[in-house]
Amino acid sequence: MNELMPEQFMFLSAALFIIGMVGVLTRRNVLVIFMCVELMLASVNIAFVGFAWEFSQMTGQIFALFVIAIAAAEAVIGLGIIMALTRQRDTVDINEVRELRQ
Amino acid sequence: MDANLLSSYIFAVIVLNVLLGLMAYMTYIERKVMAAMQDRIGPNRTGPVGLLQPIADGLKLLVKEDIIPKHADRRIFLLAPLLSFVLAPVAAAVIPFGDSITVFGHEVNLYVADINVAVLYFLAIGSMGVFGIILGGYASANRYSLLGGLRAAAQVISYEIILGLSLIGVIILSGSLSLVEIVNQQSETLTIGPLQLPNWFILSQPLAFIIFLIAAVAETNRAPFDLPEAETELIGGFHTEYSGFRFSFFFLAEYISMIVISLFAATIFLGGTDGPIQDGVWWLALKACIFLFFYIWLRTTVPRFRYDQLMGLAWKVLLPLVLINILLTGFIRLWGLGML
Amino acid sequence: MDSLPILSLMTYSPLVGALIILFWVNAPANAVRWIALIAASVSLVFSLIMLAMFDRSDSGMQLQETFRWLPDVGIEYYLGVDGISVPLVILTTMLVVIAILASWDAIQHRVREYMIVMLLLATGMIGVFVSLNLFLFYIFWEVVLIPMALMIGIWGSANRIYAAVKFFLYTLAGSLLMLVAIVATYQSYFEQTGERTLSVLQLSQGDYGTNFQMWVFLAFFFAFAIKIPLWPFHTWLPDAHVEAPTAGSVLLAGVLLKMGGYGLMRFNLPMFPDAAEAFAPLIIVLSVIAIIYGALVALVQTDLKKLIAYSSVSHMGFVTLGIFAFNAQGMYGAMIVMISHGLVTGALFLLVGVVYHRAHTRAIEKFGGLATNMPIYASFFGLFMFASLGLPGLSGFVGEFLAILAAFREYPIAGIISMAVVVLSAWYMMWMFQRVVWQRAPGEPPDHDDPELKLAGSEAPPKVAGGSGDHHHEDVDPRTLSDVNAKEILTLVPLALLTIWIGVHPGPFMELMQPALEALLEPFGGSGF
Amino acid sequence: MAAEVLIFNLLSAVAIVSAVAMITMRNPVHSAIALVLTFVNVAAIFIMLRAEFLAAVQIIVYTGAVLVLILFVLMLVNPDDLPEFHSGKPMQNVFGFGVGLILLAEISVAILTRTVVAEPGPWNEEGVAAAGGNIQVIGQLLYSGYVLPIQATALVLLAATIGALFLGRPDEDQEPSPKRRTVATISLAHTRGADDDLIPALRAANIKREAGDRDLIMARDADEFTTSAEEEEKKGQSE
Amino acid sequence: MSSWLFLIPLLPLAAAVINFILGRWFLQHASQWLATLAVAGSFILSIPVFLEIVSDEQAISQHLYTWIPAGDFDIPVTLFVDQLTATMLLVVTGVGLLVHIYSIGYMHGDPGIYRFFSYLPLFVFSMLMLVMANNFLVLFVFWEAVGLCSFLLIGFWYRRRSAASAAKKAFIVNRVGDFGFGIGILLIFVTYGTIEYAGVFDMVGDASQTTITVIALLLFTGAIGKSAQLPLFVWLPDAMEGPTPVSALIHAATMVTAGIFVLARAYPVVSQSADAMMVISIVGIATAFVAATIAVTQYDIKKVVAYSTVSQLGFMAFAIGTGAWIAAIFHLVTHAFFKGLLFLGAGSVIHGMHEEQDMRKMGGLKKYMPITYWTFLIGAAANAGIIPLAGFWSKDEIILGTWLYDHTVIMVIAFITAFFTSLYMFRAVFMTFHGEERFNPDEVHPHESPRIMTIPLIVLAVFAATIGFIGFPPEDGWFHHFLINAFPGLTLPDVAWSTIFIFAGISTLIALSGLFIQYMAYVKKSISPAGIAGLLGPLYKLAANRWYLDEIYDVLIVRPLVAFSMFLWRFVDAQVIDGTVNGVATLVTYTSQQWRKAQTGLIANYVFAIALGAIIIIGAFMIFGSNLFQ
C-alpha cells in the first residue's frame, strides 16, 4: 500500500456515516442526535472531497462547500428549535417530544 | 524527512519559545504601564525594577496547589487549559517574520508555513481557542464559571464573524489568502501625487482596520470586553476554580493570543516586516508592540461593557459597517479592474 | 402574429383589474367595484371584437396566438378560438360583468378580496375556453377551481366550508385524473411521432390504441363529468350552489359547468373518437338518468337554490346526451343547451339572489305572492322559469329538443325517456313558481274575492300555505319586499333578451358553430349535416 | 508514499475512534469534545485530499461555530434534564447497531466491488497549481458555473437567520408555563435574593425560586430586570 | 295576399308585447283597446285571406325565416294557409275579437287588466301561428305557447291558491300530452327526414304501417292533453278558475280544439292507420260519455259548461276516429261559437251575480238579465242539438258519420251522450234562469251586463243559431265542399235524405226529451233530481266526483312520484352517492389513522425506517441491478 487508495476515504466516510446513524438511532438527547447528524454530514463531505480528489474534479469540493453552508443553516435552525423546546418543555429528551404523533 | 520540513520545525520551536518569553515580559510590561498610567510604580521588588517578577510569578504558579473541585468534570477540567494553551501559539505559524535567510548553507524561511489559506487558518485556530474557555467554564461545576464559558462562547462566535468579515476587504484587494503574499503586496509603494506611501492596507481599509481592532480585543477576551472573566461580576469567570499551573495555562494563552493577534494585525494591515528603512522582523515587532500597548492602554482607560451592549455592538453596529465596507471594497475592486 | 393579440387581451384584462385592486391596498369599496366592473367590461368588449373578427365560414382555430414557452417539452402558450369556444367565451365575459353587477350591493364584506377572486376567476374561465395547449388549459382549469372554492368558502352562507371543500375535492379529484390523462396522451403521442407536444390540435392527429383510448378517455371524462356534473358525480353541485353567493352561483352554473361540456367536445371527442363511440351508450344512459333524476329530485326541494341546482343537473344531462349521440342535432343541441343553461340558470340564480338579499332566506315556504309587490320580478321569474322548463320560443327548448332529437335518432328509448322531462320540469318549476311568486304570502288571509272564502259554508277553507300560526317574527314578510331595482334589472335584461333571441332565432348562433361542429363530427361520420 | 498512507490511516483511526466515543459517551459535553476531535481529523483529511479551503471552512464553521453553539446550548440546558445514554428501550440499541452493521456491510461490498466510471478531470495537483491554488479554483468555479446554487444557498442562509430570530424571540403572547424553571440572563447572574419579586420577568412567570435552583437567565435587555418608579406606580394602580 | 300574411299574427303579438311592457305604468285601461284593435285587425285581415282561399282553392304560404338550421334538421318558420287553416283563422280571430270586446266589460276595474290584455292577444297570436304553421315543430312551439297563455290566464288571479294550482295543473297535464306529441314529431322526423307537412304527407306511405300507427297515436296523445280527452281532461274543469272570457276563448272555442285541429291536419297520416283511428274513436266516445255524465251532476255553472266542452271535444275526436273528418271540423266551428256563447253567457251571469258561480244560489234570473237568458238559451239549445241551431247540424252529422262508417256501438253511446248533453244543458238553463230565486236578495242584486258584454253575446248567438247552415245539407253542404280540398283523398259520402231525416228525428227527440225532463225537474218540480241521484247511488257519486280521476292520479302518480323523488334525494343522493363519497373519505381517514400509528413521533424510529429503506434499496440494487450475484 504505497499510495493512498480511494477505498480508504470511502471506508472512512462510510464508517463515520454509519456511526452517526447509529448515534441517531440510539441516543435520546436531542443535542447528541444533532451532533450525530453533523457527523453524518461531515462523512458525506469526506466522500465528496475524496471523489473530487480521485477524479481530479472540483465539483465534489464545491458540493461539500454547499453541504457545509446548508449544515450551518440547519444547525442554526435546529439549535433554535432546541432552545425553544427547552423553554417550552424543559426537556431535551427526544422521546418526550412526540407532538407529531397526535 | 526533508530539509525544508526540518527547518520549519526548528523555526517553529524558536517562534514558540520567543512567544513564551515575550508573554512573560508582556505581563511585566503591562503591570508597569498600568502602574504608570495609574500613577503607581508597579513591580519593583524582584530584580532590578522588578524585572524578575514574571519569573517569580511563574514559579509561584508552578508550585501552588492544584485544586480540582469535587463536582468538577475531571477530564474536561484537565483538558480545558491545555486546549487553550496549545491552540494560542499555533496560529503564529502562518505569520511571516521576514523573507528567507541563509543559515548554514540552507535557505530557511522566516515563517513556519506559507499556506494558501493562511488567513482562514488563523481564523480557524482562533475560533478553536474558545473551546478551552467554554470547557473550562463548564467543567468547573461552578455557576460563575459556566456563565463565563457561555459568555465566551457567544462573544467569540459573534466577534469571529466580525473579525473574518473585516478581513474580507483586505483579501479582496490582495486577491490572496496567503499572508506572505499579502505582506509582499504591502511592500510595494503607492504614489499619490507628491506623496509616496507604503501600500499598507490600513490606508486602503481604514474602516476594516478599526473594526478588526475592536473585534480582536473582543476575540481575546481583553478589557473592555473581558466579560467571560469579569472579576467584579463573575469572580474571574471561567477560571474561577482554576489554580496554580492550570490557571497559568489560561493566563499564558490569553497573553499569547494577544501577541499573536497583534502580529497578525501588523502583518495584515501595517505591512508586516515592511518598513521605511531596512525591512526586517524588527519592524514587525515594533508594530506588534504598538498594538500591545494599545491593549494595555484600553484596559486602563475604558470600563467594561455590559453584556447586551457587547452583543449589540457586534450585531447592530459592527456587522452593518463591515458589510458596507465589503460592498464598497468590492465595487472599488471591480472598478479598478475595469469591470464596472 | 401580426394583429392585435385579442384573445390575450380579453383573457388578461380581468387579471389586470385584479392586480390593480391587489396593489391598491386601501382602495375604497366603491372604487374596487368600479375597477372590477371596468376590467370585466373591457374583457367583454374585447370578446365582442373577437366575435367581429371571427370568420364564420372557417372551421379551424382562429385568432391564434402562439409563444414558445417551454418548447423542449411541448409546452407553449397557444390560444385560439373556434365556433365552439366563441359563444362560450362571450357567455363568460358577459356573465362576469353581470356577476359583478349582482355583487355590487350584495357583497359588503371583504369587497377587495371578493373582486380579486372574481376577476381571477374570470381570467381562468376565459382561459379555459381559449387555450389550446393542454398544459395551459390545465393551468386555467385549476385557476378556476381555487377562486371558486374561495368564493364559496368565504362569501357563502351558513354551511359554506363544507360546500367549498366538497366542491374543491370533487373537482380536484377529476382534475388529477385529467392530469394523468394529459401526461399519458402526451407520452403516447411522443412515442408515436417522436414529437413532444401538448397542443390539442396536434394531439388530435395522434392514433392511439383502442385500449389506451379507453382508459385515457375515461380519465378525461371523469374530470369533465364531475364538472358538468353528470349523474352520479353531481352531489357537489347542490351544496356548492346553495352555499355560494349569488354571483358565485351564477358563474358556477353559467360557466363552470360548461367547462365540462366544452372539455368533452374539445378533448375527448377529437382525441379519442373510438373510445368515445365505445362509451357513448353508457354515457347516454348516465345522461338520461341525470335528466330524469335531476328533475325528480328538484321536485321535492324546499330550498330555491337547491331546486335550481338540481334542475341544472337535469339540464346539463342534455349536453352529454347531445354530444354522445354523434350527430349534428346533438352537437347543436349540446352547445345551445350550454349557452341557454348559462343564461337561464344564471338568471334564475340572480333572481333567487334578489329575494335572498332582501329576505335572507331561500326557503320556498317563506315566500309567496311576490307577484303582488314585485311585478317586474315576477315577470322575469316567469320568463326564466319558462325558459328553464323548455318552453318553445325561449332558448331552453331549442337545445333540449335538438338533444332529444339527436338521442332519439340513435337511441330511441333514451330519447323517449328524456322527453319525459318536459312534464317533470314543468312540474317542479311551476310548483316552485306557484308557491313563491303566486298565491299569497305565508299566513296572509284570502282576498275578499277569493272563492275560497265562499266555500266556508260547505267545507273548511283550504289551509293557506304556511298558515298563520307558524309565521315567525324574525322572517321578513314577503309582502314588504321591494321590487327589483335598476341595477338588478340591468343584470337581468341582457339575459332575458338573449334567452328570447336564441329561442326565437337561433340561426346566427348555430351558423357560428356550424363549421366547427361539422369538423368535430367528421371522425364520427358527421351524420346529420 | 507510505507516510501519506500512514498519516491518513492514523487520522482515520482517530476520527473513527472519536466518533465512536462521541456516540457512546454518557455526558453530551464529552460527546461534543469527541466530535471536535473527529472534525479536526476530518479537516486534516481534507488537507490530504487537496481541499485546503474546505479544511479551513470545516474548522471554522463546524468546529468553531456549530459545535460551539451546540456546547452553548448544552450548557444552557439543565444537566438534570439530560437523558441517559441508554434510553430504556434496549431493542432500539440492538436494532440500531444491527441496522448500522448491515448497512456498513452493504456499503463495504459496494465499495469493494465498484468499477470506476468517471474520467479524471483537469484539476489534478498541477492543474490546481496552474490556476493559482485551491481557493482560486473554487472561487472561479463557484462564481461562474454555480451562481444559481450559491444564490440559493445564500437564500437558505438568510431564511435560516430569520428563522433563528423567530425561534429565539421571547414568547410574548404565550402564557408562561408554570413548569418553566429557567428564566435567566447571561448578564445578570446576581440574583437579588429576597428581591426576586422585583424582577418583573420572574414575577410574570410566577416563579418562586428556591435556593438550589440554577438560574441561567436569558434576557434581551438588562432593563427588563429593573423596574422604573413609574411602572411600579402603574402596577400599583392597576392592582 | 300572401305577403301580408304575417300581419295576421303580428298584430296581436305587438299588442301583447306593448301591453305587457308599457301596460302597468303607461297604458293601464288603454291596453284593452289596443288589444281589441289588434285582434280586430287580424280578423279583418283574415277575411280576404279566407276569401282568397275560397276563390282560388289554393293554399298560400309565406316564408318568414329559418328557425333552426341544425344540419338536416332545418326548420323554417313559414305561414301556411289552406282551407282548414283559413277556417280556423276566422274562428280564432272572430271569436277572439268578440271575447276581447266582451272582456272590456267583464274585466272592468281589475288592477291587472293590462296583463289580461297582454296575455289574451298573445294567445290569439299563438293560436294563429299554431294553425298557420307549415311544419310539426312550429306547430308544437305554438301548441306549447297556447299552453303558456292558458297557464297565464288561468292563473290570472294568481293570489288564489286554487287558480294558481289550476294553472299549474293545466300546464303540466298538457305537457303529459306534449310528451307524446313531441315524441311523435321526433318519430316523424326520423321516419320521413322532414317535419314539414307537405313533405311528410307526400311520403306517408313510405313508412311501415306500424310506424304510421305509432305516429298517429303519438299525435293523438298530444290531442288528448290539449283537447282534454280521457284520461287527461282533468285540467279543463279546473281551468275554469281563470276569468270567464278566457274560458270562453281558450277552453272552449279555440285552444282545446287544437288537438282536433292537429288530427285533422295530420289527416294523411292518421287516416292511413285504421288502428289509430279506432283508438281515437274509442277514446273520443268514452270522453264524450264520461264528461257528459259528470256535467249532469255539477252545480258550478262554469264547470257544467266545461264538462260539456270536454264532452263535445270527445264528439269531435270520435268523429275523426270514425272517419267523419269534415263533420269533426264542422262541429269544431259550430262548437266554437255556441260554447263561446255559453261561456260568455255564464260569465255574464256570474258578473251579474257578483262573482257567484254556484247554480244552487241562482234561479229566476230570467227577468233580471233577459239578453243573457236568451242568448244562453240559444247556446244551450245549440249545444243540446235542437234543430235548427248550429249544434244540431254538426252533431247530427257526427252521429250520422258513425252510422255511415259502421260504428254502431259508438253510435248508440253517442245517442246516449247526446241525451245527457241535453240533460245537463237544460239543467243549467233551468237552474239558473228559472224557478225560485235562491240567492239572498239583500246581498246580491242581479243585473243585466253592460252593453259591451251583451253585444258579443248577441253576435255569437246569431252565429250559434245560423252557422250550422254552412253545412246544410248534411254531408253535402257548402262547408263540406270547401273543406274537402284540405283532405285529399277524402270523398263526401252520398247520404240518402231518408237517413238524414231519421237521424235528425232521433236527435231532436233525444234533445227534446232532455229538455222535457229538466223542465219537469227544475221548473215544474215534478221530478226530484235528488231522488234520481239517490236512486242511482254509487253511479251518481261516481259522476259527481268526476269519476275520481283526480284522486286516482293523486294516489297512483303524484304521490308515488313525490315519494320516489324524496327517496332519490334523501336516500340515493344523500346516502348512496354522498355516502360513497364520504365513505371513501372515511376510508381514507381510517386508513390514515391506522398508518398514523407508524408515526410514533420518535425520531429514532424514523431514522430506523430510513436506514432500513436504504438497506433494502441498496440490497435490491446489488441483487438485481448489479452483476454482483450473477
User: D221: distance to nearest CA of chain A, Å?
Assistant: 18
How far CA B30 is from CA of B23, B27, B45, B53, D177, in Å, comes to 10, 5, 16, 12, 50
Are E335 and E316 in contact by the 8 Å Cβ rule? The answer is yes
| Residues C210, C211, C217, C223, Cα dihedral to 10° | 180
Closest CA to D43 of B124, E141, B152: B124
Place of cell 475512534: D17
Q: Which amino acid, one-letter code, is at D50?
A: R
| C162 vs C168: CA distance, rounded Å | 10
Among E596, E602, E611, whose Cβ lies nearest the Cβ of A21? E611
Could you give the count of Cα atoms lying within 13 Å of E141 in the half-sphere of its Cβ?
28
Contacts E564 to C, Cβ<8 Å: 296
Measured between CA atoms, the residue of chain C closest to residue E186 is C405
Decide if E620 touches D, using CB distance below 8 A.
Answer: no
Place of cell 316523424: E188
Closest CA to E199 of E78, E107, E309, E113: E78
Residues D148-201 have pLDDT tens digits of 888 888 999 898 888 888 877 765 555 554 444 444 444 443 443 434 444 555
Contacts E176 to C, Cβ<8 Å: 423
Q: Which chains touch B (3 or more CB pairs under 8 A)?
A: D
* Average pLDDT for A58-72: 88
Supply the Cα-derived Rg of chain D in whole angstroms. Answer: 26
Q: What is the pLDDT along chain C (529 residues), one digit of tens a residue?
A: 456 788 888 999 999 999 999 888 888 888 999 999 999 999 999 999 988 888 888 878 888 888 888 777 888 888 888 888 899 999 999 999 999 998 888 888 888 889 999 999 999 999 999 998 888 999 999 989 989 999 998 888 888 888 888 888 888 888 998 999 988 888 888 888 888 888 888 888 878 888 888 889 999 998 899 988 888 888 888 888 888 898 889 998 889 999 999 999 888 888 888 888 889 899 999 999 999 999 999 888 888 889 999 999 999 999 999 999 888 888 999 999 999 999 999 999 999 988 888 888 888 888 888 888 888 888 899 999 999 988 888 888 888 999 999 899 888 899 899 888 888 888 888 888 888 888 887 777 776 666 655 554 444 444 444 444 444 445 677 778 888 888 888 889 999 999 999 988 888 888 888 888 888 888 887 666 6
Give me the pLDDT at residue C461, please. Answer: 45
Give E540's contacts (C-beta < 8 A, 6+ positions apart). Answer: E297, E532, E533, E534
Residues C311-328 have pLDDT tens digits of 999 999 999 999 998 888
Contacts A19 to D, Cβ<8 Å: 16, 19-20, 22-23, 100
Show the cell assigned to E398.
257526427
Q: Do D81 and A92 touch (CB under 8 A)?
A: yes
| E346 vs C518: CA distance, rounded Å | 58
Helix (H, G, I), strand (E, B) or coil at C493: helix
Are E288 and E419 in contact by the 8 Å Cβ rule? The answer is no
Are C50 and C6 in contact by the 8 Å Cβ rule? The answer is yes
Are E124 and E245 in contact by the 8 Å Cβ rule? The answer is no
Distance of CA D33 to the CA centre of its chain: 12
Q: Do D62 and A71 touch (CB under 8 A)?
A: yes
Residues B308-332 have pLDDT tens digits of 778 888 888 888 889 988 888 888 8
How is B42-61 classified by DSSP, letter by letter? -S-SSSGGGTTHHHHHHHHH
How is E517-536 classified by DSSP, letter by letter? HHIIIIIS--S-HHHHHHHH
| A83 vs E625: CA distance, rounded Å | 45
Burial of B38 (0-12, 13-18, 19+ CB in 10 A): exposed
Same domain, E102 and E207: no
| E288 vs A99: CA distance, rounded Å | 84
Q: Please tell me the CATH code under which domain D2-135 is placed.
A: 1.20.120.1200
Q: Do E179 and C422 touch (CB under 8 A)?
A: yes
Q: Which chains touch E (3 or more CB pairs under 8 A)?
A: A, C, D
Show the cell assigned to D35.
466530535
| A65 vs A51: CA distance, rounded Å | 14
Decide if A97 touches E, using CB distance below 8 A.
Answer: yes
Give me the pLDDT at residue C123, please. Answer: 93
Give me the pLDDT at residue D89, please. Answer: 62
Q: Do D75 and B116 touch (CB under 8 A)?
A: no
What is the mean pLDDT of each successive set of 10 residues along chain E, which is 630 residues long? 80 89 81 89 89 84 86 86 88 89 86 87 91 89 89 87 87 89 90 86 84 90 87 86 86 86 88 88 90 87 88 89 87 89 88 81 82 88 84 85 83 88 87 82 81 87 86 80 83 81 86 86 79 80 81 86 87 84 86 80 78 87 74
Same domain, E199 and E337: yes
User: C451: distance to nearest CA of chain E, Å?
Assistant: 8
Residues D195-224 have pLDDT tens digits of 444 455 555 555 555 544 444 444 444 444
Closest CA to B228 of B148, B143, B133, B134: B148
**A contact residues 22-41, partner E, Cβ 8 Å cutoff:** 24-26, 33
Are E42 and E124 in contact by the 8 Å Cβ rule? The answer is yes
Domain boundary assignment for chain A: 28-88
Q: Do E568 and C446 touch (CB under 8 A)?
A: no
Helix (H, G, I), strand (E, B) or coil at C346: helix
Structural domains in chain E (count): 2
Give me the pLDDT at residue D233, please. Answer: 57
Supply the Cα-derived Rg of chain E in whole angstroms. Answer: 31
On whether the pTM is more than 0.90, the answer is no
Q: Do D110 and E618 touch (CB under 8 A)?
A: yes
Give me the pLDDT at residue C458, please. Answer: 44
Q: Is E239 contained in some domain? A: yes
Give D233's contacts (C-beta < 8 A, 6+ positions apart). Answer: none
**D contact residues 21-80, partner A, Cβ 8 Å cutoff:** 22-23, 28, 31-32, 35, 38-39, 42, 45-46, 48-51, 53-54, 57-58, 61-62, 65-67, 69-70, 73-74, 76-78
Closest CA to C434 of E500, E424, E166, B227: E166
Measured between CA atoms, the residue of chain D closest to residue A36 is D23
Show the cell assigned to C221.
371524462
Closest CA to B260 of B11, B30, B26: B26
Q: Which helix (H) or strand (E) holds E114?
A: helix E113-132
Q: Which helix (H) or strand (E) holds D2?
A: helix D2-24
How far CA C330 is from CA of B95, C277, C336, C424, C505, in Å, comes to 92, 14, 10, 22, 18
| E227 vs E263: CA distance, rounded Å | 11
How far CA C402 is from CA of B142, C309, E71, in Å, comes to 94, 22, 11
Same domain, E231 and E330: yes
As a whole number, the mean pLDDT across chain D is 71
* Average pLDDT for B27-49: 82
Domain boundary assignment for chain D: 2-135
Contacts B177 to D, Cβ<8 Å: 135
Q: Which amino acid, one-letter code, is at B261?
A: I
User: A74: distance to nearest CA of chain E, Å?
Assistant: 16
Give me the pLDDT at residue C343, please. Answer: 92
Q: Which helix (H) or strand (E) holds B37?
A: helix B3-37
First to last CA, chain D: 82
Burial of C227 (0-12, 13-18, 19+ CB in 10 A): buried
**D contact residues 200-239, partner A, Cβ 8 Å cutoff:** none
Burial of E610 (0-12, 13-18, 19+ CB in 10 A): middle
Distance of CA D27 to the CA centre of its chain: 16
Decide if D185 touches A, using CB distance below 8 A.
Answer: no
| C471 vs C445: CA distance, rounded Å | 12
Show the cell assigned to E141.
312551439
Burial of B2 (0-12, 13-18, 19+ CB in 10 A): exposed
Measured between CA atoms, the residue of chain E closest to residue C368 is E159
So what's the ipTM on this one?
0.64
| A16 vs D62: CA distance, rounded Å | 15
**Does pLDDT of D1 surpass 80?**
no
Give me the pLDDT at residue C340, please. Answer: 92
Among E615, E619, E628, whose Cβ lies nearest the Cβ of D99? E615
Decide if E628 touches A, using CB distance below 8 A.
Answer: no
Residue E117: which domain range? Answer: 1-134
Handedness of CA C358, C363, C366, C370 (dihedral sign): positive
Supply the Cα-derived Rg of chain B in whole angstroms. Answer: 21
Per-residue confidence band for D232, with pLDDT thresholds at 50, 70 and 90: low
How far CA E392 is from CA of C31, C344, E296, E335, E343, in Å, comes to 77, 50, 20, 10, 19
Are C528 and E189 in contact by the 8 Å Cβ rule? The answer is no
Contacts E603 to A, Cβ<8 Å: 24, 33, 94
* Average pLDDT for B121-146: 81
| Pairing verdict, β B106-108 and C75-81 | unpaired
Give E61's contacts (C-beta < 8 A, 6+ positions apart). Answer: E2, E5, E78, E79, E80, E81, E134
In a mutational test of the E interface, the residue from D85, D94, D101, D102 whose CB has the highest number of chain E CBs within 10 Å is D102
User: D171: distance to nearest CA of chain E, Å?
Assistant: 24
Residues D6-32 have pLDDT tens digits of 888 888 889 899 988 888 887 788 888
Give E213's contacts (C-beta < 8 A, 6+ positions apart). Answer: E273, E275, E276
User: What percentage of chain D has pLDDT greater than the value 70?
Assistant: 64
First to last CA, chain A: 56
